[in-house]
Structure formats: C-alpha cells, structure tokens
Structure 1
Amino acid sequence: MRTIGQILLVLALSCLGLREADAVTLDSAVAVTDPDTLQALERGGLSISRLLGPAVGLTRDVDNHGLFSVPALSTVRDTVKQEISDEPRTSPDPYVAAMAKSSDTSQKFNPRYIDDDGSTLDLTGVVNRMDRGYLGHTECGEIRLIYRFHYSVAEKPAKGKVAQRISSRLPLTMSLVFNAKPRRAQARASKDLPSATDVSCADVARRWLAAGQKDLPPEQLAAWLRSDEGPLSGAMLNSSQIMRLELNMQVLRLSASTRRDFGGHAEYLLKIFKWDPATSSFHEAKMENQIDRATVLADKPSFAKWLLTDRNIYDLDHGRLVIDEKFLAKSAVSVAPGGLSRSQNNIAYRLVDDTDIDKALRDYVARGNTLATIKSVAGFNLRLNEMSCTGCHQTHGIAGFHYTGADPASEPRRNAVFVPGSAVFFADLPRRRAIVEQFAAGGHPDFTRGFAARPDQKYAEALKGTDLYNGWGSICYGGDDPSFKDWTCGAGLRCAGVHESAIHPGFGTCVSEKGTAVGDPVEFGEIKMSTWGNDQYCRLSPATAKACAIDPARDKKPLVKLAGYGAARQRYDNPDQKTGGFPGGMLRKASCDRLPDEATCGRLAKTGFNDCIASGKDHKFCTREFTKTAGLRACDKAHPCREDYICTAGYDDLPQAKPGEGTCIPPYFIFQFRVDGHPRSWVQDVRE
C-alpha cells in the first residue's frame, strides 16, 4: 500500500513532466496549463468577454477585441492609464522618479495599446485555488482564469513601403476570480447535479480529481472539461460566480544601460477590482494583505496591537493571516530584479519593532502555544512580507509574475515562454492537490502552508527528483536562524549569496558547488538601502571600487577558467557601452559542442542587438539578425531557472538542442516581458 508521500511523489512527477505522456494532462489536477487545451477552452466559451458578456448585458458578438471599451471595464481602463502616468512621480527609486522630468515615454507601458481594438486577452491558465478555502468569503476556495494581454498592430508605413503587422504579448496579466462553489440556481440546471443541495465542496473537488485522470488530446480534453461532467461546465463555472479581477502589469522598465548596477530595473503594478453585481461593473478595491505603509507609519502602535495577538500570530504562522482592511492599500508596486532582497518588495519593513515581535513570540510560546513555521523575529518578518502582494510576486517569480502561461507553437521561439509558471507555483502543487483530495473526501482540509520561498518539508518527498525543493536554483539559507535552518542545498550544490541583503541576511541561491555548471552565477554582491525603496547593488566579486562605483580600472570581467566557456555578465568596463542585463551574471558555453547534461543549445543577443531595438525595428527582425548560439542552462517544469531568469522555448531548429527542454535567459531578452522596444505608433484598428 502506498503512503501519502509516495502518492504525492507519483502525482508530482507526472504533473511536472517527468514521465512520458502521449496526450495532454492537467498539472496535478489543480491547473490547466497546456496552450492547445487553453485555446480550445477559450474557443469553447472561456474567453473573458464571453464570461463577462451575460453579466454586463452585452448584446454584440463579443470576441475580446476592444474589451476595455465595455462599460464594466471602464474603471479598470481609466485606473490603469492613470497609474501608468503617475508611477514615475510616486516611485521611491530616484532613477525612476527622474523619468517624471523627461518627456520620453519609450520605457513605459504604452497606454494606446489598452484602447486599441486590435488588443486582446488570451486565456493562458485555469487554476484551482481551493486551498484558499480558509478565507471567509468562500468555503470552497476559488477558481482563477488567467489571461495575458496581446496586441496586433499595423505600423505606419514609411514612404514607398508597405505597412508591417506586428504582434506580441505584453507583460500584463488579468486574473478573473470565481467562487469555486456554483450558485444553486445555476447548479440546478446541470444534469449531473440533480438538486441544488447536492452541490458541495466535495463535488467540486471530485470533478477536478477526475479531470486529472483524463488522458485526452487537447480538443477532447477541453470538451470534457466543459461537459456536464467536467469542473468547467456552464453549471459549475459561470458569470454568477465572478468575485473580482486581479491585475499585474509591468508599467515601466529601465534598460541595463540606464540602471547599470542591477542590470536593468522593472516596476510592476498590482491592483484588485471587485465585482459589483448590482451595477454589473468592477470597482477599485483594497488588496488582500497589501499593507499601506503611509497608513501604518502614521499609527504604528495600532497596527502592532492588532497584529501581535495570539490569533493573528497563529494565522501568520500557518500561512493564512488576513490583515484588517483598515491597514490595506488599493495599489502596490513591486520591483525586479533582486526579489525579496529589494527593500520596496518588503512592504512591512520596520512597521513593527523587532523587540515587540520578539516579546510577543516568547509570550505566545510561554502560554503553551507552538510555532510551526515562524520561530524567530526574522521568520516573522519574512512571513509577513511574503504574504503581501509585493512580497509574494517577487519571491522567486518570473519577472514579477508567478503564472505567465506557456506560448503556443505558433509563437516564434525567440519570443516564447516554455514553462508557464514559476518555481514557487510548481513547488506548491502537491500541497494544493492534497487539499483538493481532503475536500473530495468530505473532510476538513489543513490549509497550513510553509514559506513561499521554500515548500514545507513534508512535501520534500513529493518533490524528489526535481529541483523544486533544494535543487539547483532554489532559495537557500546559510545562517543560523531557527526559522530557516533546513533551507539547505542538495548534494553537489552550495548556497551562494548572489543578492545579499541587510533586510534578509544569509539568503542565497543553490548553485553548483564548484561554480562550473552552465547557468551558475559569476558575479556576487549585496544590496544596500539608503532609504526604503532606494536600493543600490554593490558587486563584491569581482571587486569594484568603494561605494559601489563603476570604475573601469577595477570593473573586471569574471574570470572563467574552463576552456570553451564564457561569462554573460551584468556590468562592463566601459560605462558608455550598451550592455545586456544578466543579474548575477551567467556561466555559458561558448558553443553548442559537447554540451554538459545541464545545458542545451539556445540563442543569446550579440553586438548590435541593442542598437537594433533602439532603431525601432520589429523585435522579430532583431532577434533573428542579432543573436548567436550558445550552450545555455536547460529548463523544464521540474528544473526551473534561477531567480530573475525565465525558461523560454527550446530551439527545435538547432540540431544540438535537446528536445523537450527550454533555455534560461533574463526575461527582458524576450519582448513579451518588456514594455520598451514595441511599436510606438501605428494605424489605429477600429471595429466596424
């Protein structure tokens, strides 16, 4: 008889692509991530416009085009455009604030795309979040449909030339969140649910578990999911269950040449819009657990008094704290690269005194309580920050996202995502699956979760054979704090401080012990904060001048002793030289000959790439003409990239490329994850 750990291991390995499969399956029965299946689901009724249509009384044949012209989304449109305009002036980062004094908007999200009728929202994921059933607003948790923004425009033609149509996704996701439990009136219409009273959380969970057993081609799988038996049938998922819309978008990006110390800089806007069925519209709302610093700083004692109670310490320790709405913000901005080492991603920084936290934890234990996860002040602070929107999205994310969706085969490989979610997303699947199983059995699920940066140790066996627990690229810890003492690296790996930080000291990344594996970092340093939100990266190895200054005399290239290998780095000897942004640098093989096991053949930018982008040429032209082959870190769902890197599609046209594996590169090297470099003017598409 299999143990729970063995069962989870089988489930995890099958969902992470570690076995051969003849057809598309669900990721651990808690997510639909295959692009072909998702396209079929969208055609079958799950486009965001068709889901909103009945709710907002649309009469025309909706197809996502011109979606933001729908009155229900006008608040979303207007708010986003205003936030894009305001961001440089409100940023605590001086590099970004300086943009407000310039008329150059080329490094910001172009708001014209939002108004263009050629823009669409593509369904890129369906995610079961029954693990959020501990929240008061729904007993069965949530179901999320995730969409990516996509544009298609015809550039204004130069004299004597034909206009060229250019299309790409942009770094903007919208998540339409549903109550996982259908309303009785809708459920009563289902043949599979004879009466409304039969609809329970167990019914929802069993449908998802059944879906996970299906071994069908994409079109057939999509049809079954939408059938009366499936979890996405019209009775089980419809507009009556809509709760809110969650927005995550890159509002601006500074190039590596502009923000040299970090190898570039990007800012991500996070917003929530709650659905009001009475007015059939979305309205701006406060964000779950996103602390408003200004509000709390104005009265720190009140926040500390609320937070440091036994009930709230217990909930924080178990990963299910819900902060009182009076302390929350309606808007948030996270920054990359650097993850939780960046001060702006630590929204709760020094809002509660460490001495008060220490006393509260000691008193909590003295009263006979047990701490499962947060066993120190540092653990308390990290947990509080990573439960915020900004902290969560910058914990080993993909350029500010945890779910982006993979691209269909039709997208050019140079602009395509291979792995749809972050390491955090895939590492959490066994926990989510266990909760679905507990719901299906009619029990009371255990909603406890470990830190976002490190899966709970009880799921280590389920993740065995992957890099998602303590493998290459995992977040690790090299200090002696009891909250993180088990955050170690596996055999043959060491914990390296790529972005050391005084906010969270001792944390690093698991890399090869000798630093000789493809994809390993080659530059190491620390992040220094002058004021909250104002950070500077100081490289320590190879050594630079004092005060983190770029000194051409000392800014040496990392030394690579391996024959046939090279270092893609984030800083260069000549401050005037256009550079690529490689946070922490990256060891690569100069050619694709005799690749080691961890590598595959891919493409990197070469001299002339940045000039091509700056000239305004189509990104497809630049990535075709100004790239070169190299041995890069291979990646898949079970073997993700390091923090601040993304797993892009493999290159089937290169004979040395390994089938079924992507390549790890900085996310802003592919155009769908940067707001700059896209057309700035075009012929406006207008619907008839």
Structure 2
Amino acid sequence: MIGRFLLLLAALMGPGIGTASAVTLDSSVAVTDPETLQALERGGLSISRLLGPALGLTRDVDNRSLFSVRALTPVRNAVKQQIADEPGNSPDPYVAALAKSKDSSQKFNPKYIDDNGSTLDLTGVVNRMDRGYLGHTECGEIRLIYRFHYSVEEKPGQRISSRLPLTMSLVFNAKPTAASGRASKDRPRSTSVSCADVAKRWLAAGQKDLAPDQLAAWLRSDEGPLSGAMLNSAQIMRLELNMQVLRLSASSRRDFGGHAEYLLKIFKWDPATATFQESKMENQIDRKVVLADRQAFSKWLLTDRNIYDLDRGRLVIDEKFLATSAVSVAPGGMSRSQNNIAYGLLDDDAVDKALKDYVARGNQLRAVKSVAGFNLRLNEMTCTGCHQTHGIAGFHYTGADPASEPRRNAVFVPGSAVFFADLPRRRAIVEEFAAGRHPDFSRGFAARPDQKYAEALKGTDLYDGWGSICYRGTDASFKDWSCGEGLRCAGVHESAIHPGFGTCVSEAGTAVGDPVEFGEIKMSKWGSDQYCRLSPATAKACGIDPARDKKPLVKLAGYGAARQRYDNPEQKTGGFPGGLLRKASCDKLPDEATCGRLAKTGFNDCIGSGKDHKFCTREFTKTAGLRACDKAHPCREDYICTAGYDDLAEAKPGKGTCIPPYFIFQFRVDGHPRSWVQDTQD
C-alpha cells in the first residue's frame, strides 16, 4: 500500500520530498496547481468555452456577463432570490434579525452577479470516479471547479478586484458520449471509451513531471484525460453552487466569534431547453417534509438494503424526502444543530432495534456500529453535514491562488483536510477501474478516513495528527478515533448532538496554533445555538459552573492568546473560533510555527468603512509566530492556510500560515465595494 500511494505523499508534501515542484496532480485524482489551471482555462476549459457548444453558440462566450446567458438565467434568479430571502428564513435569531434591518452590507451583494466584469476562474479539476456507484453514471464524474471573481472601478482610476466566497462546479459524466450536432475542435465525436480507458489516462497523468504550461497541454492532448474527446459539452450533467450569503462579524456575534451562512444548490442540465434547472439535492433531507411524516421516512430508511448502503457510505436517499436548497453555518462544524439536518427525525430506539435485527440476520456492520454512528453517518452524507465536517469556511475545495495574487489575499492550500485525506481511497478506485475490476466504493466517515488508509497517510496530519477530529468516549463506532503520539483529544466545541468529539492538540503544554478556549454549544431549538465557554468560564452568560473552568496554559513568556472574547464579554475582538496560541514575535520560532501577519484591533472597522483592503492590511495587522501549514499538515477546523509572506525573513519557505478565513478579503462577503460604475463590454 505504501508504494501505491508514494505519488500521493509526494504531492502532499510538496517540493523537496522526492518529486519536482512541477508535478501538479494530486495522486492522479485532482489538478490543483494554480498555474496549470490557468493554462487549462486558456486552453479551452473556461466555463464559457465549455458551455458554448451546449448552448448551440457558434462563437466563444466571454466569461464576463456569463449570468446573462439564457442557460444560466435560472441560476442567477435563484441565487438573487435566496440572498433576498435568507435572513428571514433562518432559524437562527441573530440572523433572522437582519431581515428587519435595511443594512445589507453583511450580505452577498447581488449586483456582482449582474456585473459585466464578474468572471469565473478555474481553480480545480477533480476526478470523482469514486462516485460510480450512483447508477446515473457508470464511470463516476469529473468536476471542474470555478471561483467567482469581480473587478470593478469603485472610483475613477481606482480598480478593486478579488475573488468572492462562491464556487460553481460544472459536473461531467466521466465516460465520454458522442456529442450531437456537428463535430468541432471543442466538440468532437467520440468513439466508445471504457471506464478502464478513462482511469488509465488519469493514472498516466499522475506520472507526468512537466512545467505547468506543458502539463496543461498534455492533459488536453489526444492522450490526456481532458482532451476534447474525453471531456466535452455532451457530458455535462449539472451545476453545483456553494456560496457565502451572509457573514456576521465577531463583534456582532460574540459567542461564536462571528457567524457565516453558506447556500448550497444544484441545477441539473436540461438538454431540451438548454438551461440549468433547479433540482432536488442529493441526500439533502427536507426537514419539513420528513417531520410531516417521520414514520414514512423511518420505514424507508431502516431496511437491510439502506442500512447496508449507509454503513458503506453509499446511501442514495429517495428523492421524495429531498430539498432543493440547503444552508450550512460556521463556525462549529458538525457540532452546530443547523448542520445536523437529520437531528430528531428518527427515533433512537427504532434505529437501535433495526441495527440489532440487521446483525441478527447475519449481516455485518463495518463503520456504523451504534445509534450514534448511524446518526453521524446520516448527517454527514447530507450536503450541510458534509460541507461542515472539518471544512474551510463552508468549503472543501477553494483552490489555491497564483503567485500574482497579493499575499494578503491568497490561499496556499487548495482543499480541506477531508479533501486530502480522501485521496488514497479515490486513487484506489481509479486503479481498480484501470485494472478492469469492479471497485469497492465503500468509505469511512468523512471525519476520519478508513483505518486501511492510515499507512498511506503516514507522515501527514490527515489521519490522527494535529487538528484531526477525534473522540473521547466508548461508543463502538468511534472508539478508535484517537490522536497520534504527543497529542490529546480536546473538546473545543462540545455538543449534545455528537458528545465526546474533539480536536487533536498538543499534549505537553500548549503549542502554536492550539486552541486556548474550550466550550459547549447549547441548543434552545434546532438551528438556534449558543456557544458557552467552559474555559475560561462564562458563568453569567450561559450558566456554566465555574468549577468546570480549567484555564489553558497561555501565560508563556513571549506568547499570546489570539481570541474572540476572552476575559471581557463586551470587548470588541477578532473572530478566532476556540482561540489560538501565537508567538508574540517571529524570533526563535518553534518547529510548528512560521512568521505571518495577523489582524489586530481596528481591522474589521477599517474593512467596514470601505477603505482599501491593502491599506487595512498594512495599518491593522502585526507580525506573529503562527501555525505553519501545507497540504499534509492542514489547519484546525474553522481556519484556513493562507500564502506565506515572502517579505518576512523569518517565514519558512513552502509553508503557509493558519488564520481565521474571514481575515482574508476573498472569503468574506462584507467589506467589498457596494457601488461602482457598470463595466461595458468591448
């Protein structure tokens, strides 16, 4: 197994670990290098070039004004309506209060959707042949992931541009089909291609050691997996949307140190009308529908066939129980009730009986060995549960930024810990396809990779390393979710929904990047949560027994605690979920740290005032020793790995820094220009 995944580890570790830096495919299952992706976009994988043939257009569509194209009109209309409706629809009282306010500065500005200068940048190509079990596609899927990008002239001579927290995935059937109509360079007719042929091309791509432009050219060549014959408009299946619709600052949502909501939607391609139409979302349970008839849902779900599929991570919920929209929230991940869409829909006794009867009939359970395991698995298979399991601000794939992006606004690691930890499983399935065998599509929990891949992930933090999700209890489904050597499992966001879960942090004392605040989430009703600190205790605010307070070790010489609301509940502080230990200076940094920049008091006010982000970063940040990160050593949940600062002598080459995502301009919907002169087409 080690030999099988050497390419994976080399790709994760980056330069200097037995491979050239030009190798940009993560173990033959993803293209993540920004320079290669830019070359692929220039070479025909822009979303406009791909949609053009499907729309019957004879000319190239400029990426600008893309949402004005008839095919995307339903997408544009649905997004704008959701932005308008979301505050009033939220079960969270903090968010619902926004509906009564005329201040829209904390919401995604819908004007960007219609602006001629808005574009979509290709930020990832992901092989999802592991989804071949779904039935609607024999060989799985290929996803092209795009990030929304604006460029506006706020004032004469002052142009501001940035990405925004909105991704659109254009999903293709991995098996090529003959395109209808006249063949062309971008729309050739294809002959019969097997799943093995598709897989072999991806495996060959993982062996290439080429410069970005050369690799992109090979991927698009007749031999590559992204050639016109292997990936064309006839294979388009749907469009998947994930976007931040609103964000509350730490000063306006003090208990969690901020709050953000993410809209998830799916639009299926309708060839008859040449449009993307809103559709039911895969496995996203509609609470209202199920609550109206819980018995029908329970009867459907608790069958041997569905228990088998749920246990192996391949359940497909009947469409009659599904929703067309979903909203996930951050921070807090799977501890937040709104991210547990199935909470309270099933009777625990009924689930327990069904599992025992299933085993009594001679069936075997691999992952789901308890009611708690059943509930967690069901929730993490929904869109809301999946996206908030050790994600990056509501995303599992954001894409990394090219070197041309200012470091103050650049992402270093393109995907979450969950994304990279799942690569060995996906790679194994590609290899099985290539060998002509029927793959085993089963998977472990999203929060913890299957134990059989532990050896493949050795040397990384992706299995049981620092920042991993862990468990402190005796439940049979999770009892093996321990932390690696030198680490302990600490409860940062305790939750009655999933009790006993925590985060792997340093065992001896407190290391840079470790949490310095611990607490529990109290739910008054589904969707309405409050974060109550146990350490240091906030007894007045949440009725916590002060005797439970165990103050973390933060009074270390030369170190400081970056925090959201530490001693003074009314203090206006930054959004640091769980807080983090930092070194006050960049002198004599420990092994786990690198030198970076951190927002200080006044940063949010500066952004909110409409001042240029460059000015705010220069005037309201400070250097500090922060947790170092890369693909193999990701950040804790609710933090993002940003690009390192080349101008800081103490910064470690090849490392990023872990900071809250909303300190990065492109991951917050507030603070961007609210008015500008509409760009005109050339």
TM-score class, shorter: over 0.9
Which of 644, 648, 656 aligns to 2:642? It is: 648
Q: 1:262 to 1:684 in 2, by over 3 A?
A: same
- Which residue identity lines up with residue 612 of structure 2 in the other structure? D
Other-structure match for 1:82: 81
2:537/2:544 contact within 8 Å kept: no
Q: 1:16 to 1:444 in 2, by over 3 A?
A: same
Other-structure match for 2:63: 64
Deviation at 1:175, TM superposition (A): 0.1
Query: Deviations for 1:303-333, whole angstroms, at most 9, x for unmatched residues?
Result: 0000000000000000000000000000000
2:583/2:625 contact within 8 Å kept: yes
Deviation at 1:607, TM superposition (A): 2.8
Q: Percent identity?
A: 86
1:438/1:445 contact within 8 Å kept: yes
Other-structure match for 1:283: 277
Q: 1:522 to 1:227 in 2, by over 3 A?
A: same
Deviation at 1:621, TM superposition (A): 1.6
Which of 137, 144, 160 aligns to 1:166? It is: 160
- Which residue identity lines up with residue 535 of structure 2 in the other structure? S
2:334/2:340 contact within 8 Å kept: yes
1:319/1:448 contact within 8 Å kept: yes
Deviation at 1:372, TM superposition (A): 0.4
Query: Deviations for 1:103-160, whole angstroms, at most 9, x for unmatched residues?
Result: 00000000000000010000000000000000010000000000000000001x3xxx
Other-structure match for 1:364: 358
Other-structure match for 1:145: 144
Q: Distance in 1 between matches of 2:114 and 2:388?
A: 29
Other-structure match for 1:339: 333
Q: 1:31 to 1:187 in 2, by over 3 A?
A: farther
Give the match's secondary structure for 2:200: helix
Other-structure match for 1:423: 417
Q: 1:611 to 1:431 in 2, by over 3 A?
A: same
Structure 1 range deviating more: 389-398 or 10-19: 10-19
- Give the structure-1-normalised TM-score: 0.96
Q: Distance in 1 between matches of 2:228 and 2:368?
A: 42
Q: Distance in 2 between matches of 1:56 and 1:185?
A: 13
1:634 paired with 2:628, answer: yes
Q: Distance in 2 between matches of 1:308 and 1:531?
A: 26
Q: 1:414 to 1:556 in 2, by over 3 A?
A: farther
Deviation at 1:670, TM superposition (A): 0.4
Q: Distance in 2 between matches of 1:625 and 1:549?
A: 39
Q: 1:336 to 1:429 in 2, by over 3 A?
A: same
Q: 1:451 to 1:444 in 2, by over 3 A?
A: same
Which of 211, 224, 228 aligns to 1:230? It is: 224
Other-structure match for 1:293: 287
1:387 paired with 2:381, answer: yes
Q: Distance in 1 between matches of 2:202 and 2:553?
A: 51
Q: 1:354 to 1:178 in 2, by over 3 A?
A: same
Other-structure match for 2:9: 13
1:176 paired with 2:170, answer: yes
Gaps of 5+ in 2: none
Give the match's secondary structure for 1:683: coil
Q: 1:477 to 1:455 in 2, by over 3 A?
A: same
Deviation at 1:684, TM superposition (A): 1.0
1:226/1:234 contact within 8 Å kept: yes
Q: Distance in 2 between matches of 1:56 and 1:190?
A: 14
Other-structure match for 1:41: 40
1:246/1:272 contact within 8 Å kept: yes
Other-structure match for 2:393: 399
1:544 paired with 2:538, answer: yes
- Which residue identity lines up with residue 72 of structure 1 in the other structure? A
Q: 1:188 to 1:468 in 2, by over 3 A?
A: farther
- Which residue identity lines up with residue 364 of structure 1 in the other structure? Y
Alignment of 1:417-566 (within 5 A): 417-548=411-542, 560-566=554-560
2:510/2:553 contact within 8 Å kept: no
Query: Deviations for 1:318-366, whole angstroms, at most 9, x for unmatched residues?
Result: 0000000000000000000000000000000011100000000000000
Deviation at 1:548, TM superposition (A): 2.0
1:414/1:623 contact within 8 Å kept: yes
Q: Distance in 1 between matches of 2:175 and 2:87?
A: 41
Q: Distance in 2 between matches of 1:465 and 1:652?
A: 26
2:535/2:551 contact within 8 Å kept: no
Deviation at 1:575, TM superposition (A): 4.5
- Give the structure-2-normalised TM-score: 0.96
Q: 1:75 to 1:22 in 2, by over 3 A?
A: closer
Q: Distance in 1 between matches of 2:511 and 2:660?
A: 17
Give the match's secondary structure for 1:406: coil
Gaps of 5+ in 1: none
Other-structure match for 1:609: 603
Other-structure match for 1:621: 615
Give the match's secondary structure for 1:371: coil
1:260 paired with 2:254, answer: yes
Other-structure match for 2:655: 661
Q: Distance in 1 between matches of 2:529 and 2:202?
A: 44
2:629/2:656 contact within 8 Å kept: yes
Structure 1 range deviating more: 471-480 or 177-186: 177-186
Give the match's secondary structure for 2:134: coil
Q: Distance in 2 between matches of 1:469 and 1:101?
A: 45
Give the match's secondary structure for 1:133: helix
Deviation at 1:623, TM superposition (A): 1.0
Give the match's secondary structure for 1:500: strand
Give the match's secondary structure for 1:465: coil
2:179/2:234 contact within 8 Å kept: no
1:186/1:235 contact within 8 Å kept: no
Other-structure match for 1:326: 320
Q: Distance in 1 between matches of 2:423 and 2:264?
A: 24
Other-structure match for 2:589: 595
Give the match's secondary structure for 1:275: strand
2:534/2:544 contact within 8 Å kept: no
Q: Distance in 2 between matches of 1:418 and 1:22?
A: 14
Query: What RMSD, in angstroms, separates the aligned Cα atoms of the two structures?
Result: 2.0
Query: Deviations for 1:184-243, whole angstroms, at most 9, x for unmatched residues?
Result: 45899899xx99664100000000000000000000000000000000000000100000
Q: 1:22 to 1:258 in 2, by over 3 A?
A: closer
Q: Distance in 1 between matches of 2:543 and 2:479?
A: 35
Q: Distance in 1 between matches of 2:35 and 2:20?
A: 15
- Which residue identity lines up with residue 15 of structure 1 in the other structure? A
Other-structure match for 1:312: 306
Q: Distance in 1 between matches of 2:295 and 2:491?
A: 35
Give the match's secondary structure for 2:133: coil
Deviation at 1:620, TM superposition (A): 1.8
Q: Distance in 2 between matches of 1:84 and 1:205?
A: 40
Deviation at 1:7, TM superposition (A): 2.0
1:218 paired with 2:212, answer: yes
1:584 paired with 2:578, answer: yes
Q: Distance in 2 between matches of 1:190 and 1:10?
A: 39
Give the match's secondary structure for 1:153: strand
2:563/2:576 contact within 8 Å kept: yes
Give the match's secondary structure for 1:16: helix
Query: Deviations for 1:538-594, whole angstroms, at most 9, x for unmatched residues?
Result: 00001112442799xx99996523210000011044444421000000000000000
- Which residue identity lines up with residue 10 of structure 1 in the other structure? L
Give the match's secondary structure for 2:2: helix
Q: Distance in 2 between matches of 1:615 and 1:547?
A: 30
